[in-house]
Structure 1
């Protein structure tokens, strides 16, 4: 009995280690989320400042240049329409990258899947002589199916042979590119020219306001994917596999199936973008340059948007503004359009570097200490 009493006295006298309160943990998480949201905004501002310095070094006025850029991208309804149409394919490829990355797979084949979607749409309409609304519906469905199939192939190679999806998807990009070249130069060459015949005018996407209907489709798709990823059990499983596939497997999740589904859905989104681009934007045909650069730009946009489908739409529109406004800036102040490419590259660099810095333990500790000092100052005041 005496020994029990002594042990009780010791246990009462010993101080238990302090654990962080739940409210403090939640506050820290909210603070980190706010910083992650601010990071892309700050990155864009820094990129514009560096771009302004470069413009000054060229002997031009950056304020006048940026004003011309805004005028050229959102100056009136027609320019807003061009900006949205330029952003439309970027929305599709960025959404494709977001969905794949959420499952922990790195789909760098958005460009190839985009191209194959356009090729399948053109093949179906030209081969079967379709016209009108049926031609458009068949084209969109074919774009979804063949884009998904082009995403399925590297997925199968990954889950069966363990091949790195970054390498295989890049390889499939080149296969898609040369397959498209074979189509428009040999199979469906328009009177010997290196291009396919134009898609039937009656099958073009209708204009809604200043832009074609494909922009609305892209925005609705982005909202749907956000809901699917963050508000459904399927999306929870996708995110769980992306965070820790081993833990997901132990908890009974079909990891291999989910990885394959992520590849297929990602490819289908990009393939739909290819069909929309073909039937929504001039010249309404396959030719050299179709889909060029959209895949890797989509990956960059997905990273800047921190793998959030809704944020990807916003970032894609910003990239569209830079593309359409760059031409006006060049004509007004006489700087090369490469300035816009530099600014876009700087946004990517600053955004990725900023997101990495926010997650560093020392940076987290510094921010926590700074906020705690501010709170103490408010209490003392």
Structure 2
């Protein structure tokens, strides 16, 4: 990478975050709150202790998964709005396997996790098939299937797996993704092996799309399906495969949450939100694995650390939401920052 390009690849995000923090401070001042106290509470909430840092990593984990799920579909020319529903299917399947079976941990953990992944993949295959065979737009089908997944999961929890407080019973300890040495390292936080699996998925994402023939076909179909078909590639097969891989990753996100954090699945009155946040993470990360990891870190850290802004600095949730949105807005608007830097450089050169 040329020195100038490398320098600006670091400078632009730094300027974007700085602008976001400045404008966030302005909103806090307008609300009558001290921005220094607010940001101090934010950073203490993220890095104040090993426990908080571990909880921040826990918050980041599902966002890496869902960001990768959305990005995989994007990279292959599809818009998977159904990551939310695939997340729910993955959660439910993983919990069922975790409850019904009682096996040695080295069999039970991978079995429950893979069950969640496969449930997400099969749920995503439905809009993939409809798109491939009948040209039904995936945005409509995936969005509607989110609510089908939510209502179906609620029904089965209520009728087949009901326990106290409208949730399933706890999974067997042998199905848990909790790893005591890792949790102890972060002062008994709820961090689990899902963070390692998420990073592994990011590497696999890169390898499959850019280092395999299958990945080349998927990207070719997404870029120009007519040219891909002319070259002898099966457009229908690759559309279904792309959606299934995207759903597989989304199902992994759901499995990781229930097996690593909660140990059960509760009835939800609304969608959990990880899938929709994953869209923002994928876009902010430019649909690249490393970019998605950094975007997930930003989203997850702000989401977890902001809780302390209310507790320690007394800032209401509405202003906190505005501050977070402004910071993310400026990070997302890096092209505008790049334009400002280039404009400044041109004026300096003209002045010479």
Would the alpha carbon gap of residues 203 and 234 (structure 1) be closer, same or farther in structure 2, given more than 3 Å must change?
same
Task: Find the aligned partners of 1:292 and 1:261 in 2 and give their Cα distance.
Answer: 26
Q: TM-score scaled by structure 1?
A: 0.81
Displacement, 1:239?
2.4
Displacement, 1:358?
8.7
Correspondence for 1:221: 201
Structure 2 stretches of 5 or more lacking a match? none
Task: Find the aligned partners of 2:346 and 2:22 in 1 and give their Cα distance.
Answer: 31
| Contact residue 99 and residue 170 of structure 2 kept, 8 A | no
Correspondence for 2:129: 156
Task: Find the aligned partners of 2:8 and 2:238 in 1 and give their Cα distance.
Answer: 31
Correspondence for 1:240: 220
Query: For 1:112-144, what per-residue CA distance to the aligned partner results, in whole angstroms no more than 9, with x for missing partners?
Result: 101100111122232345563432222111111
Would the alpha carbon gap of residues 115 and 78 (structure 1) be closer, same or farther in structure 2, given more than 3 Å must change?
same
1:111-130 residue pairs with structure 2 within 5 A? 111-130=84-103
| Contact residue 24 and residue 327 of structure 2 kept, 8 A | no
Correspondence for 1:10: none
Identify the match of residue 281 of structure 1 among 247, 261, 267. Answer: 261
| Contact residue 31 and residue 319 of structure 2 kept, 8 A | no
Displacement, 1:319?
1.2
1:21-60 residue pairs with structure 2 within 5 A? 41-60=14-33
- SS in structure 2 opposite 1:212? coil
Task: Find the aligned partners of 2:15 and 2:73 in 1 and give their Cα distance.
Answer: 26
Correspondence for 1:23: none
Query: For 1:318-360, what per-residue CA distance to the aligned partner results, in whole angstroms no more than 9, with x for missing partners?
Result: 11111111111111211123334323433454455555x699x
Correspondence for 1:264: 244
Displacement, 1:260?
1.4
Correspondence for 1:87: 60
- SS in structure 2 opposite 1:287? coil
Return 257-266 or 126-135, whichever deviates more. 126-135
| Contact residue 114 and residue 291 of structure 1 kept, 8 A | no
Identify the match of residue 141 of structure 2 among 161, 168, 190. Answer: 168
Report how many aligned residue pairs link the two structures. Answer: 342
- SS in structure 2 opposite 1:253? coil
- SS in structure 1 opposite 2:150? helix
Query: For 1:211-267, what per-residue CA distance to the aligned partner results, in whole angstroms no more than 9, with x for missing partners?
Result: 211111111111221222233333233222222222322333322222211100000
Correspondence for 2:312: 332
Would the alpha carbon gap of residues 266 and 42 (structure 1) be closer, same or farther in structure 2, given more than 3 Å must change?
farther
Displacement, 1:277?
0.8
Task: Find the aligned partners of 2:271 and 2:58 in 1 and give their Cα distance.
Answer: 13
| Contact residue 97 and residue 115 of structure 2 kept, 8 A | yes
Would the alpha carbon gap of residues 161 and 145 (structure 1) be closer, same or farther in structure 2, given more than 3 Å must change?
same
Would the alpha carbon gap of residues 40 and 162 (structure 1) be closer, same or farther in structure 2, given more than 3 Å must change?
farther
Residue 204 (str. 1) matches residue 176 (str. 2): yes
Task: Find the aligned partners of 1:126 and 1:327 in 2 and give their Cα distance.
Answer: 32
Structure 1 stretches of 5 or more lacking a match? 1-25
For CA contacts below 8 A with separation 6 or more, give which structure has more relative contact order. Answer: 2
Correspondence for 1:73: 46
Correspondence for 1:195: 167
Supply the RMSD in Å over aligned alpha carbons: 2.9
Correspondence for 1:345: 325
Would the alpha carbon gap of residues 348 and 161 (structure 1) be closer, same or farther in structure 2, given more than 3 Å must change?
farther
Displacement, 1:109?
0.7
Task: Find the aligned partners of 1:230 and 1:37 in 2 and give their Cα distance.
Answer: 24
Correspondence for 1:4: none
| Contact residue 111 and residue 295 of structure 1 kept, 8 A | yes
- SS in structure 2 opposite 1:44? helix
Task: Find the aligned partners of 2:223 and 2:350 in 1 and give their Cα distance.
Answer: 36
Would the alpha carbon gap of residues 42 and 293 (structure 1) be closer, same or farther in structure 2, given more than 3 Å must change?
farther
Q: TM-score scaled by structure 2?
A: 0.87
